């Protein structure tokens, strides 16, 4: 793995480009802060570098079918606080199509593009890495996902927004749980990483948090709830990450559904956990699946700032000829790292945060 390069504007051995014409796309699931990233890179591109930015609609579909929109400061006005993405997004990649890579290449050359900026999660960044490493296509990546599971960056934008939404929901569920003496099981997103669950669990004062990195024993979960109830605390919040898994043999799980790209479709473990808790303890238990509400709406101030810093750094990286790199947050610094760092991996939650902090508050 190559070491990170600080984004001070002095990286390059490659000659700097004076002005560029660059394409931008957002891939994978949407995420609060996408518009803020696009707005920032467009602003710096147009006002500082004198560049032209072309937006591709609906991710790689727009590149393959040449559906574009001109992006400029005027077009991006008012988008900083808006959730979603003005470009639209899709799952899928050029590798799903015969000659997909050649189509990307010909779109770029016919449109006179110097490079592509790909804003995406694990899937889109892996595609960007392959396009650059194996096909020589000039790309710069920007890590995006509410799941916060991208290797090479300390944080992705959208994560703190999802955590805030989940925490707000947990706060509300506490009062209804208390009124009815119920156990509320709150399922949050995150794919195979427990970042959202751990942070929202700590912030929301959960009774117990179940994450994919630490298979759960349903008997132990029930014992904790019974112990808590025996102390006269009847309302409990169980936060379960959508990718959480029971220890083998403890709960019967259905075979996972897989989407057309071969990704496991997650969601629903909260129903199963709630049913098991109710059956084993006799406590009235309700599942709440937060789902896509965690991806919607306005980004937190933190995510707006991170998105803005990523957008500015990405267009600078293009000017530095930092192809095959993605912008990243290391500590307080924005750096660039090789896209290979992120490709094909999922960054697990920091287990010391889980064991040394979150668990201290479990019943």
Q: Is 194 in the site for ligand F6P (CB under 6 A)?
A: no
Nearer to ligand F6P, 107 or 122 (CB): 122
Best CA proximity match to 170, nearest among 211, 208, 201, 147: 201
Nearer to ligand F6P, 147 or 303 (CB): 147
> Contact at 8 Å (CB) between 193 and 162?
no
Nearer to ligand F6P, 113 or 266 (CB): 266
Q: Is 146 in the site for ligand F6P (CB under 6 A)?
A: yes
Nearer to ligand F6P, 142 or 317 (CB): 142
Q: Of these, 189, 317, 318, 358, which contacts ligand F6P (CB under 6 A)?
A: 189
| Residue nearest to ligand F6P as judged by C-beta position | 189
Nearer to ligand F6P, 235 or 266 (CB): 266
> Contact at 8 Å (CB) between 355 and 202?
no
The least distance separating ligand F6P from the CB of residue 348, rounded to whole angstroms, comes to 15
Q: Of these, 27, 29, 88, 194, which contacts ligand F6P (CB under 6 A)?
A: 29
Q: Is 27 in the site for ligand F6P (CB under 6 A)?
A: no
CB count within 10 Å of CB 331 equals 7
Q: Is 266 in the site for ligand F6P (CB under 6 A)?
A: yes
- How far apart CA 37 and CA 76 sit, in angstroms, is 10
Tell me how many residues contact ligand F6P (CB under 6 A).
11
Sign of the torsion angle spanned by Cα atoms 330, 315, 149, 324: negative
Listed ranges 12-20, 144-152, 166-174, 351-359: which one lies at the site for ligand F6P (CB under 6 A)? 144-152
Q: Is 185 in the site for ligand F6P (CB under 6 A)?
A: no
Nearer to ligand F6P, 82 or 191 (CB): 191
Whether residue 147 lies in the annotated active site: yes
- Candidate list 61, 147, 303, 316, residue with the active-site label: 147
Listed ranges 77-85, 108-116, 166-174, 184-192: which one lies at the site for ligand F6P (CB under 6 A)? 184-192
Q: Map the chain to HEC letters.
A: CCCCEECCCCCCCCCCCCCCEEEEEECCCCCCCHHHHHHHHHHHHHHHHCCEEEEECCCHHHHHHCCEEEECCCCCCCCCCCCCCCCCCCCCCHHHCCCHHHHHHHHHHHCCCCEEEEEECHHHHHHHHHHHHHHCCCEEEEEECCCCCCCCCCCCECHHHHHHHHHHHHHHHHHHHHHHCCEEEEEECCCCCCHHHHHHHHHHCCCEEEECCECECHHHHHHHHHHHHHCCCCCEEEEEECCCCECCCCCCCCCCEECCCCCEECCCHHHHHHHHHHHHHCCCEEEEECHHHHHCCCCCHHHHHHHHHHHHHHHHHHHCCCCCEEEEEECCEEEEEEHHHCCCCCCCCCHHHHHHCHHHHCC
309-313-319 Cα angle (round to 5) = 160
Q: Is 190 in the site for ligand F6P (CB under 6 A)?
A: yes
The least distance separating ligand F6P from the CB of residue 137, rounded to whole angstroms, comes to 24
Listed ranges 40-48, 55-63, 72-80, 140-148: which one lies at the site for ligand F6P (CB under 6 A)? 140-148
Pick out residues in 79-138 that bind ligand F6P (CB under 6 A).
121
Listed ranges 145-153, 278-286, 325-333, 334-342: which one lies at the site for ligand F6P (CB under 6 A)? 145-153
Nearer to ligand F6P, 55 or 121 (CB): 121
Q: Of these, 49, 228, 295, 309, which contacts ligand F6P (CB under 6 A)?
A: 295
Q: Of these, 68, 145, 207, 308, which contacts ligand F6P (CB under 6 A)?
A: 145
Q: Is 147 in the site for ligand F6P (CB under 6 A)?
A: yes
Task: Provide the annotated active-site residues.
Answer: 147
Can you give the binding site for ligand F6P, defined by CB under 6 A?
29, 121, 145-147, 189-191, 242, 266, 295
């Amino acid at each position: 793995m190559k070491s990170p390069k600080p984004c001070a504007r002095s990286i390059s051995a490659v000659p700097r480009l004076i002005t560029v014409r660059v394409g931008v796309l957002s891939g994978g699931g949407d995420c609060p802060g996408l518009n803020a990233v696009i707005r920032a890179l467009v602003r710096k591109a147009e006002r500082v570098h004198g560049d032209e930015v072309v937006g591709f609609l609906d991710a790689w579909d727009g590149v393959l079918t040449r559906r574009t929109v001109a992006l400029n400061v005027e077009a991006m006005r008012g988008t900083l606080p808006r959730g979603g993405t003005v470009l639209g997004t899709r799952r899928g990649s050029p590798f799903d199509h015969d000659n997909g890579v050649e189509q990307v290449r010909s779109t770029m050359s016919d449109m006179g593009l110097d490079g592509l900026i790909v804003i995406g999660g694990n899937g889109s960044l892996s595609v960007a890495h392959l396009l650059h490493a194996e096909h020589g296509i000039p790309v710069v990546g920007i890590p995006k996902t509410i799941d916060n599971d991208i290797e090479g960056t300390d944080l992705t934008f959208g994560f703190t927004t999802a955590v805030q939404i989940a925490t707000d929901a947990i706060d509300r569920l506490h009062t209804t749980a208390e009124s009815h003496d119920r156990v509320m099981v709150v399922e949050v997103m995150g794919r195979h990483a427990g970042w959202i669950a751990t942070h929202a669990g700590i912030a929301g004062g959960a009774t117990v948090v179940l994450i994919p990195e630490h298979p759960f024993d349903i008997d132990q979960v029930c014992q904790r709830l019974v112990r808590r109830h025996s102390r006269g605390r009847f309302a409990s919040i169980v936060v379960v990450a959508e990718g959480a898994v029971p220890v083998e043999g403890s709960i019967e799980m259905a075979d996972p559904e897989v989407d057309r790209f071969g990704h496991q479709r997650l969601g629903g473990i909260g129903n199963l956990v709630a049913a098991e808790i109710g059956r084993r303890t006799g406590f009235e238990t309700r599942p709440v699946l937060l789902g896509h509400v965690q991806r919607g709406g306005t980004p937190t101030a933190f995510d707006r700032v991170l998105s803005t810093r990523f957008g500015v750094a990405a267009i600078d990286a293009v000017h530095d000829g930092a192809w095959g790199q993605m912008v990243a947050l290391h500590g307080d610094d924005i750096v660039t790292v090789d896209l290979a760092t992120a490709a094909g991996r999922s960054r697990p939650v920091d287990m010391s945060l889980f064991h040394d902090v979150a668990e201290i508050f479990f019943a």
